[in-house]
Structure 1
Amino acid sequence: MNIFITGAGGFIGGSIATGLVRAGHHVRGLVRRPELADALQRLGIEPVVGDLDDRALLIGEAKAADAVINAASSDHRDAVEALIEGLAGSGKPLLHTSGSSIVGDASGGEGTEAIYYEDRLPEPTADKAARVAIDRLVLDAANRGIRSAVLCNTLIYGHGKVPGAESVQLPRLLRQAKKSGVVRHVGSGGNIWSNVHIDDVVELYRLALEKTPAGTFYFVESGEASFRDMTTAMADVLGMGKPQDWPLDEAKQEWGYEMASYGLGSNSRVRGQRARELLGWKPQRRSVIDWIRNEMV
């Protein structure tokens, strides 16, 4: 297939694009920074220099491709609308990348028993309403002749394929620890996130391109862990003693409101069965704690 993917210079998009090239597909990858073009070419990805605000470019690439993956932003509605316009009536796949902070509770680092399922989603918080509206827009595109799907990733761990690109959550904890000499988590660290290894994410996107029914929402997860358990493993590896609690307001000063409240200070416990049942996805990596202890640093 000829595949167009946004965010090809990033952690998720670059890893997916590289995996699809290895699977025999031809991939054109949107990248904002021209200096990343050479890195993409070395990975076998044909670079397209541009950004999500270039509506004409996105429509043109979508029309020319056999399939489109949006891995650049979960929150850029104009870009999603342009990709849908380019694909309307074609029957081609559109895979949109969302994130499971859509069910985040901004608990300040405290735990919860609440678990969410693909067919029983809560109403989003005000902070996440716009993202959920975009997810629904993509799913509704099934009514416009597009084989659309939303892949809602949880905490992703592992190393990416594009040099310098990294995941969102764990690297921030690691950088703070190295800077301060103290591993910290928001609040008590009792908050829990579902998680998944990047290699398993890549395989799921490959399967979804081939098999997904139109209008399908997937949670992408293969396990879960509390932030306290993750920071404890990190502290052991770094030789920094026990991790410390960090009040939310202080964490916001380090990471900002969004990251401290949702990315690192919320619960996001989900269960994803559709990828396994509909696509035959079989994740191979099941323990983020093992990865932190053996591979992260």
Structure 2
Amino acid sequence: MSPKTHIFVTGATALFNSLGVTAVVGTNSDFDVLISLASEADVVLSCANVNDINAARAVLLGLKKRYEQTKTVPIFIHTSGTGVLIDNAVGNYATDKIYSDLDVPIIESLLETQPHRDVDLEVIAADKQGYVRTYVILPSTIYGIANTLLVSLGVQNPYSIQIPDLIKAGLDRKQGGVIGKGLNLWSSIHIDDVATLYISVFDAAMKGQNETGHGSEGYYFGENGEYRMGEISEVLAKLLYEMKRGESPEPTVFTDEEVQKYFGGPSLMGTNSRARAERAKLIGWNPVHTIDSLWASLKPEIETIVKRQNA
């Protein structure tokens, strides 16, 4: 690496200019731009779209050019997610299957048809070719509301997706809802711990190729505890009822039509995804938020969404 490390982050906004960061306005479809910027970077952090394989290929092509020009192996930190582990439970059962990010064979056995998997495989294959070192970060359910300087400056999204979507659905139907029997299990991670996971992987990667696993041994799960999805639904339904936003303190089952309306079809929230961040913690990542933080976050999430809807 050069004395000054050139980092290219996808998924940022033009507002980063206010922080002295050079922002380039474009989209994941601007392949020539992605190739060009990646070819100039020592490190790429991909945070824009975990499922865009063509954008990933463009970035990798740029990194390959970088290697050919400098004979130095660049670093690619790619964002995926533990959605890659899901099953078809539809909320009706819990699974005993738990994935560790140290268990490479079981991860390698995942079908290419799993969410995110085709892009993950493309990234891993590039590492095997030797022109780039790749690290794949897989957060689980992200919860909590970020409260950072970047949020105050308007350059960071402070919200996640899964739990807010469940809240918005409950508010719209005026009743907390659950998918199936709500027996399925998911791992979870606080939004602030996601940030420190990226820092931990970045620091380890910058120390050299032997500091931590990369390529097929470079999966890093983001989790610190797990929950039963039905319990989330139960707590949300009770909170909505207490706030006079729900008709009953008990969640009712989402109909097929509601699942399509609120979640765009079969939802991750009806699946099992159980992960253990063993590799991530071996490199020194130390998440500080436990599952208790998840439960404490639910009421503020509702209050924030209501406030935004009323603004």
In the alignment, structure 1 residue 274 sits paired with structure 2 residue 279: yes
Could you tell me which runs of 5 or more consecutive residues in structure 2 were left unpaired when the two chains were aligned: 206-211, 304-311
TM-score by length of 2: 0.77
Q: Distance in 2 between matches of 1:57 and 1:51?
A: 9
SS in 1 for 2:44: strand
- Alignment correspondent of 1:26: none
Q: Distance in 1 between matches of 2:158 and 2:37?
A: 24
More displaced stretch, 168-177 vs 110-119: 110-119
Structure 1 pair 208/292, CA: closer, same or farther in 2 (3 Å)? same
Per-residue deviation, 1:145: 2.7
Equivalences, count: 264
Could you tell me which runs of 5 or more consecutive residues in structure 1 were left unpaired when the two chains were aligned: 9-30, 32-36
Give the conservation status (yes or no) of the 8 Å contact 2:165–2:262: no
In the alignment, structure 1 residue 178 sits paired with structure 2 residue 171: yes
TM-score by length of 1: 0.81
Structure 1 pair 163/207, CA: closer, same or farther in 2 (3 Å)? closer
Per-residue deviation, 1:165: 5.8
Spell out, residue by residue over 1:114-152, the C-alpha distance to the aligned partner (whole angstroms, 9 max, x if none).
2222222274457426x3132122122223231211111
Give the conservation status (yes or no) of the 8 Å contact 1:101–1:262: no
- Alignment correspondent of 1:159: 145
- Alignment correspondent of 1:208: 201
Aligned-residue CA RMSD (Å): 2.2
- Alignment correspondent of 2:125: 140
Per-residue deviation, 1:164: 5.9
Give the conservation status (yes or no) of the 8 Å contact 1:248–1:265: no
- Alignment correspondent of 1:251: 259
Question: Any residues of structure 2 matched to 1:83-162 within 5 Å, and which?
Answer: 83-88=59-64, 89=67, 90-112=72-94, 113-118=96-101, 119=103, 120-121=106-107, 123-124=109-110, 127-128=113-114, 131-143=116-128, 144-160=130-146, 161=151, 162=155
The one-letter amino acid of 2:162's match is Q
More displaced stretch, 243-252 vs 47-56: 243-252
SS in 2 for 1:128: coil
Structure 1 pair 93/125, CA: closer, same or farther in 2 (3 Å)? closer
Structure 1 pair 270/164, CA: closer, same or farther in 2 (3 Å)? closer
Per-residue deviation, 1:225: 0.6
Q: Which of 257, 265, 270 does residue 265 from structure 1 map onto?
A: 270
The one-letter amino acid of 2:280's match is A
Give the conservation status (yes or no) of the 8 Å contact 2:7–2:43: yes
Q: Distance in 1 between matches of 2:168 and 2:111?
A: 29
Give the conservation status (yes or no) of the 8 Å contact 2:197–2:285: yes
Structure 1 pair 192/50, CA: closer, same or farther in 2 (3 Å)? same
**Bigger Rg, which one:** 2
- Alignment correspondent of 2:295: 289
SS in 1 for 2:227: strand
More displaced stretch, 115-124 vs 100-109: 115-124
- Alignment correspondent of 1:70: 46
More displaced stretch, 133-142 vs 166-175: 133-142
- Alignment correspondent of 1:5: 9
SS in 2 for 1:276: helix
Structure 1 pair 110/185, CA: closer, same or farther in 2 (3 Å)? same
Give the conservation status (yes or no) of the 8 Å contact 2:167–2:302: no
Q: Which of 233, 236, 241 does residue 234 from structure 1 map onto?
A: 236
Structure 1 pair 187/248, CA: closer, same or farther in 2 (3 Å)? farther
SS in 1 for 2:137: strand
Spell out, residue by residue over 1:204-235, the C-alpha distance to the aligned partner (whole angstroms, 9 max, x if none).
11111121333111111111111111122223
The answer to which structure has the higher strand fraction is 1
Per-residue deviation, 1:247: 4.0
The one-letter amino acid of 1:96's match is H
Q: Percent identity, please.
A: 30
Q: Distance in 2 between matches of 1:237 and 1:184?
A: 12
The one-letter amino acid of 1:285's match is H
SS in 2 for 1:121: helix
